[in-house]
Structures are given as C-alpha cells and as structure tokens.
Chain A
C-alpha cells in the first residue's frame, strides 16, 4: 500500500498547511500588537488566529489520513472472481434479499455503500460470520448490513 503522505492529494494538503499555519500565526501576532496598543477588538482576534492555525492542522491531519478508497481496495478477492455480481445501483434490496449469505451479495452491498459514501458502521452481532475477514472495517460494514437486513420486515 503506497504511503498516504506522498499522494498528490496529500502533497496539496501539505502545501496548504505550510502556507496557512504561518499565515494565521502571523496574523495573530499582528493582532496582538494592535491589541497591546489599545484596540480592544484585536484581543478576540489575537486568540482566534492561533485557534484557526490549530484547526487547520487538525483538518490537514484528518484529510491526509482519510484517503479516498478505490473500489478495488474494498472489493474482496472472492467478489473479483465473479464480476457479474458487482452491480452498482441505488437499490440495496436485491443485494439484501439474495445476498445475505452469498459473497456476491456482500460485494454488491459494499460497492453500493462505497458509491453512496457509506457511514461509519455500528456493528450488530448476535453471531459473527465475518471473523475471518482480512479487513476489519469491511467486516464491520458487513455486520452492519446483516443487522439492517435482519431488522427489516420481509417483503
């Protein structure tokens, strides 16, 4: 897996950080000077700019680590062997109905979930058939889908 620190997106974020943080700290220092000379409003800005610098640093850290996954990264090897199962669509019903116990259905759910920008899953497990998944995040998402399927009424 290539380093997350050297992708083009990450480099853009590095440059933005190196520009923004010194700029914000300079602005904060400038406001401190104005505040000490008697401009009362500047006191608020004196504390605001360093906070913005910290916030920008946090954003940079988060965005570098949240690399956008490609479909290839998320689809398990078993689904790649049967590409006919990879239907990307809005309806997860077909995947849920026919795919709860088939790997093709899981793959469809994952791919559709990725396309929808899937949420952080809340795993619900009475039993856990996904223990041997190599990717724990994927396993957690599968458990989430299984839990949803289990609580929906049969149609």
Chain B
C-alpha cells in the first residue's frame, strides 16, 4: 500500500473512531442528562464537538475516497456512519478490510 494511502486510511480510522465515540457520548450520556435530568450544558458542548469532528471526519473520508475510488454506496455509508450510533465502528471496520483487500493482495 502506498505510504500516502496508508496515512489517509489511518487519518480516516482515527476520525471515524472519535466521531463514533462522541456520538455515543452524545446519545448515551448527554441527551439523557438533557431530557431526563434537565441539565443541557453537556449536550450543548458535546453536540458542537461532535459537529466539528464530523466535518474533519468527512474531510478524511473524502481524502480516502479519492485514493480508493469509492462508489455511491461507500460514500453514503461514510456519511451515515457519523450520524447513527455504533454505525461508525462497523463502517470503519468494513472500510479497512476493503482498503487492505485492494492494496495488499496482488488481485
């Protein structure tokens, strides 16, 4: 795998992980606090952090998409991965396997 592709994959993996974790924190911790315990401060902060990370995540995904020639399904998967809890981890796992399969084997 070319070095730049490996780096692009690594950046995507890191951002995917952060976005996935932040979304879980938002949905699992901050939102219950906001709607059940009526303490919205954490939700406000976490939502903004998640939003910012999501933008950086989309940029790293775009970089990877350039190198690996994503199709429509893959682009949709990457976009949705940051929006649904747990989906980010699953999509990142599948994407890593797909990239490795393309670059590490002669076929």
A binding-site residues for B, Cβ under 8 Å: 9, 13, 40-41, 44-45, 48, 51, 55, 58-59, 62-63, 66, 68, 90-92, 96, 112-113, 116-120, 122, 145, 148-149, 152
Contacts and interface: CB of A to CB of B under 8 A. Distances in A.
B28 to A, nearest CB: 19
Given A44-B47, A112-B107, A63 B75 contact: yes
A116 B107 contact: yes
Dominant SS among interface residues on chain A: helix
A44 to B, nearest CB: 4
B69 A66 contact: yes
Interface of B: 2, 44, 47-48, 51-52, 54-55, 58, 62, 65-72, 75, 101-103, 106-107
Would you call the interface of chain B mostly helix, strand, loop, or mixed?
helix
B62, B66, B67, B72 pick with most chain A CB within 10 angstroms: B72
